[in-house]
Structure 1
Amino acid sequence: MTLPDRSTLSRREYARALVAVGGATALSACLDASSDGDENDDGSDVPPGTDDPDSLPARQHAWNEFAPRDDDGNVSPPAHHVLLPLALTERATADGEPTADARDITESTLRTLERAYEWSTDGLLFTLGYTPAYFERFDADLPETVDLPEPEALTSREDPAFDEFDALLHLASDRPEVVLEVEEGLFGEQEEPERNGVVLESDLADVFERVDENRRTGFVGEGLPAEHTDVSNVPDAVPEDAPFFMGFRSGFDRTQASEGRVTIDSGPFTDGTTQHVSSMDIQLEVWFEQENHYQRVSKMFSPEHAAAELVGEVGEELGTDSGLSDERIEATAADARQEGVVGHAQKAARGREDGEPRLLRRDFNTIDGDRPGLHFVSLQHEVEDFVRVREAMTGADLDVPSANNGILHYIFVNRRGNYLLPPRELRALPVANPDA
């Protein structure tokens, strides 16, 4: 890919574009930009990691306490993301299964990252998850305490491709140069084997190959989507302060499952979780140019949100909650009949269990393929939790025109994948059933 034109972009825009491009050349350009002293560079160093990686949480997905919170108390997610798909190399396997040497290399490399970068959004957060295809390498089955089905199409409207490689590495940081230099360092493509003052004593090049055609990148944060109106199909109408392309805040604290709720709590993979990733395109021009703000609020939240003006311009009036009362959730079918429209959040909330959210979302915007989209990343106790929420959000049981059925008319799923995120102690090429 060609590097973006630095002269037409702010440093922030340029850095995000470089993350999407990837590679050593993009990393070099990003490091140059981060030290050019312009108004967007605070000049601070990346905080170093820990001398004792064993002191880090048992859960790979323990991110929330290491992230800042916004003025309302919601977790502020990392700004920059890379989803790096990986396939085991032949030299890392024997009779199809990972070797002990491959496990040692993987764990040693990941521990080096933890020594190099603080476990935080200002440093580096990451997870390494494994597909059902990976676990098919083993004679033993996954334990009954793990629900990890093959991914599948979840509505008649979609025909997605599926993640059938071995693993997915999710890299996240507020600093674009960090996710780029980690990606390059992991695969031995830099002459200088040092990251943030720590020498990388091993990398993953002998264990994994990158599946570059399925590499995914993105960003989330106030004002970031509006900086991509130069991309095809991203209209100028994207609100200046919106953290997501569709114009509203997300990830309200009270509408998110806790990390404890999504954690596997028994069996050999205790302290792990399951992850679902959906990659989708968004029809933003129709969303903004054919719908007014009232209609967008109705379809994103509920008709009551629009009528009572509960949301504000980008959701700033909602604080830590989506504003969906039990009564409003129960009125979803009535709204479909009487109002002729239902909200996305209103429908999805019907998938809660005993009033509690099932999913912990960590999704982000993307311009992969030079078009606006979303990589929907959710963590849940079992994949069936995601399926149930997705069924509720689809709203097939509701008597409402498809164009007014939440946001379904504007999103198009093109890829799905299911993963097991093992606990930290088993993250390096786990067997299917450690207790077998």
Structure 2
Amino acid sequence: MARKTRGISRRAFVKSAVAIGGAAAVSACLDREGNPDVPSGPDDLSSYPTRQHAWNDSLMTSDVGNVMAPKHHLLLPFNYTGDTPTPDERETVEKTLQSLEHAYERSHNGLLFTMSYSPAYFDRFDESLPDSVDLPHPKALSSFEEPELEDYDAIIHLASDYGHVVLAAEEAIMGKQDTLNGHEMAASFEGTFEKAERRTGFVGEGIPAANQDVDGIPDGDPVPEDSPLFMGFMSGFSDNQATEDRVTIQDGPFAGGTTQHVSRIRLRLDDWYVEQNREERVAEMFCPFHAEEGLVEGAGHNLGTDSQVDGECADRIDEDARTYGRIGHSQKMASVRENGKPIILRRDFDSTDGGEAGVHFVSLHRGIGDFEKTREAMNGEKQVKESPAIKQKVNNGILEYMFVKHRANYLLPPRAHRALPTPAP
């Protein structure tokens, strides 16, 4: 479908630069962002947390207390070039990652990142991962999806409020620039890892609206300016996220780490915005009760730190399926909790990779089983069996508008073991 053209806003320009990558994009992005003075990291890294995934204390919070994700994101899957990692290679990888930490403050104004490893990476070793690590190979998680099951060895997730920061970090770790934010790079991944591909994206109020001229979103600029995501509603309610403690591995050599799932999802929002009215979108994103009572204003910021579906909404899901002929996404997710608390921590973001609206779904959990349990609840199979109006994808939350193209699982070790770990470090 041909897309209309319009003036390029700063938000759209920076997103485009991140998507393109390279030294020229770093320079252009830096200029467009006003050449900000990005704070450096400390010379002594001993005060840094054990957990790579301990981001929340380094992020801003909204006026009501929701943790605000960095605006710009880059996922870089890698393949290890050798057979079995050597001590010298581990030292090289660790020096590279420490160079990033010295160059940029560990914050949304600087750089946040994680380095994680797949089951395929660990398959090269004779020993197995300890029982405390739940890391199966990825698989399809519904009868109607046929994702590519990835086997890259590792992936790094780079995130910052500044697009030029994630771009410059990418150039530096690939050995394409010797200094980063005025600091010399002690090493790079060159010769140890080969970059398999790059995935880019963004999250935050106004950014999706500025970048909605892509396939998968209908004409007419339907994405609201106040929405941090393409589907028009916020999803980062702090009380609907697992805590970093909850997703942390508690025992064994990888205590202090976590597991990570990475999905690539294509969005097809023509029906979402054209065939559905706002009340129907609220019902399918949250629950019919929210729609009937008019509980959601705009993108949902009025709800505070909780989508408020864990009480009346969650309890009446079977009744809603019979009465309204549809059920909500958040309504289904509320069923997968322990003692009323969520079990996964989402760090997903929207994307226009390939000129298509999409989501790079990144989630953290103590074990991959927690993610699979959550994702299977999203299928709404009980209501599909018992309610004629609820189909596998139709009237069943937001499944109708999402198409899973890739799935991958990773172990995100504690910082001490983030450089080419063995199964028993």
Q: Which residue of 2 aligns with 1:107?
A: 94
Alpha-carbon displacement from aligned partner over 1:368-402 (angstroms, at most 9, x marks no partner)? 11010111111001000011111111101112234
Matched, 1:98 2:85: yes
1:33-432 paired onto structure 2 within 5 Å: 33-34=32-33, 41=34, 44-90=36-82, 96-190=83-177, 193-212=178-197, 215-235=198-218, 236-398=221-383, 399=387, 400-401=390-391, 402-432=393-423
Alpha-carbon displacement from aligned partner over 1:199-248 (angstroms, at most 9, x marks no partner)? 11211112101002xx2110000011111132233231111111000000
Please tell me whether the aligned partners of residues 228 and 234 of structure 1 are also in contact (alpha carbons under 8 angstroms): no
TM-score, normalised to structure 1, is 0.93
Aligned partner letter, 1:216: R
Aligned partner letter, 2:108: T
Partner SS, residue 386 of structure 1: helix
CA distance in 1, matches of 2:114, 2:242: 18
CA distance in 2, matches of 1:367, 1:153: 24
Q: Which residue of 2 aligns with 1:38?
A: none
Between stretches 57-66 and 7-16, larger displacement belongs to 7-16
CA distance in 2, matches of 1:195, 1:337: 58
Moved over 3 A (4+): none
Q: Which residue of 2 aligns with 1:3?
A: none
Partner SS, residue 420 of structure 1: strand
List alignment gaps of at least 5 residues for structure 2: none
Please tell me whether the aligned partners of residues 310 and 323 of structure 1 are also in contact (alpha carbons under 8 angstroms): no
TM-score, normalised to structure 2, is 0.95
Between stretches 390-399 and 132-141, larger displacement belongs to 390-399
Partner SS, residue 278 of structure 1: strand
Partner SS, residue 382 of structure 2: coil
Please tell me whether the aligned partners of residues 141 and 432 of structure 1 are also in contact (alpha carbons under 8 angstroms): yes
Partner SS, residue 369 of structure 2: helix
CA distance in 2, matches of 1:183, 1:29: 15
Shift of 1:7: 9.4
List alignment gaps of at least 5 residues for structure 1: 1-5, 35-40, 91-95
Alpha-carbon displacement from aligned partner over 1:384-425 (angstroms, at most 9, x marks no partner)? 001111111110111223421000111000000000000000
| Paired-residue identity, % | 51
Aligned partner letter, 1:410: Y
Alpha-carbon displacement from aligned partner over 1:55-91 (angstroms, at most 9, x marks no partner)? 100000000000000111000000000000011113x
Shift of 1:313: 1.4
Distance 1:326 1:8, change over 3 A: closer
Please tell me whether the aligned partners of residues 212 and 230 of structure 2 are also in contact (alpha carbons under 8 angstroms): no
**Aligned pair count?**
413
Partner SS, residue 334 of structure 2: helix
Q: Which residue of 2 aligns with 1:93?
A: none
Partner SS, residue 379 of structure 1: strand
Aligned partner letter, 2:134: D
State the superposition RMSD in angstroms: 1.3
Please tell me whether the aligned partners of residues 131 and 163 of structure 1 are also in contact (alpha carbons under 8 angstroms): no
Alpha-carbon displacement from aligned partner over 1:264-314 (angstroms, at most 9, x marks no partner)? 011000000000011101111211011000000000000000011111111
Please tell me whether the aligned partners of residues 148 and 382 of structure 1 are also in contact (alpha carbons under 8 angstroms): yes
Shift of 1:189: 1.6
CA distance in 2, matches of 1:325, 1:7: 42
Please tell me whether the aligned partners of residues 277 and 418 of structure 1 are also in contact (alpha carbons under 8 angstroms): yes
Shift of 1:97: 1.0
Partner SS, residue 201 of structure 1: coil
Partner SS, residue 52 of structure 2: coil
Please tell me whether the aligned partners of residues 81 and 219 of structure 1 are also in contact (alpha carbons under 8 angstroms): yes
Aligned partner letter, 1:51: D
CA distance in 2, matches of 1:333, 1:385: 23
CA distance in 2, matches of 1:391, 1:153: 10
Please tell me whether the aligned partners of residues 310 and 334 of structure 2 are also in contact (alpha carbons under 8 angstroms): no
Shift of 1:25: 2.6
Partner SS, residue 194 of structure 2: strand
CA distance in 2, matches of 1:24, 1:406: 42
